[in-house]
Structure 1
Amino acid sequence: MAEYKIRSYGDSDYEAVRELFSLGMSEYVPSVCMHVLKQPWVLFVITCFFLSLLFSSKSLILPVLAVTLFLALGRQVLAYCWNMYIDHCLKEDLQDIQKTYMESKGSHFWIVEAEDSIIGTVAVKPSGDRSDELILKRMSVRKDFRGLGIAKALSREVITFARQGGYRSVVLNTLMVQHEAQAMYESVGFRKYTEFVLPTVYGKLVNFTISKYRYEILPVN
Structure 2
Amino acid sequence: MDEVQIRQYREEDLEEVKEVFTIGMSEHIPSSCMHVLKQPLAQMFLGCVFCALLTSSMSILLPVLAVTLLLAAGRQSVCYMFNKYIQTSLEQDLSHIQQTYMDPPNACVWVAESQGRVVGTVGCFPSENDKNFLELKRMSVKKAHRGKGIAKALCRTVADFARERGYLGVILHTSVVQTDAQKLYEHMGYHKVREFSAPEFIAKLTNFTLMEYQLIVKRHN
Please classify the TM superposition score into its range, dividing by the shorter chain length: over 0.9
Secondary structure of 1:128's counterpart equals: coil
**In 1, Cα distance between equivalents of 2:132 and 2:201:** 33
Using the alignment, how far apart are the partners of 2:218 and 2:116 within structure 1?
A: 37
**Bigger CA drift: 136-145 or 206-215?**
206-215
- The match for 2:193 is 193
Q: What is the match of residue 146 of structure 2?
A: 146
* TM-score when normalising by structure 2: 0.94
The residue identity in structure 2 corresponding to 1:170 is V
User: What's the % identity of the aligned pairs?
Assistant: 48
- Conservation of the 8 A alpha-carbon contact between 2:166 and 2:218: no
Superposed, which structure 2 residues align to 1:1-221 within 5 Å? 1-219=1-219
Q: Secondary structure at the match of 1:189?
A: coil
Q: What's the CA shift for 1:208?
A: 2.1
Letter paired with 1:127? S
Q: Which runs of 5+ in 2 are unaligned?
A: none
Give SS of 2:95's match.
Answer: coil
Q: CA RMSD, aligned part only?
A: 1.6
Instruction: Give the distance between the partners of 1:87 and 1:182, measured in 2 at CA.
Output: 24
Aligned length, in residue pairs: 221
TM-score between both structures, scaled by the size of structure 1:
0.94
In the alignment, the residues of structure 2 paired with residue 219 and residue 70 of structure 1 have an alpha-carbon distance, to the nearest angstrom, of: 52
The 10-residue stretch of structure 1 (63-72 or 95-104) with the greater mean CA deviation from structure 2: 63-72
Unaligned runs of 5+ in 1: none
Task: For residue 187 of structure 1, report the CA deviation from its aligned partner.
Answer: 0.5
Match of 2:87, as an amino acid? D
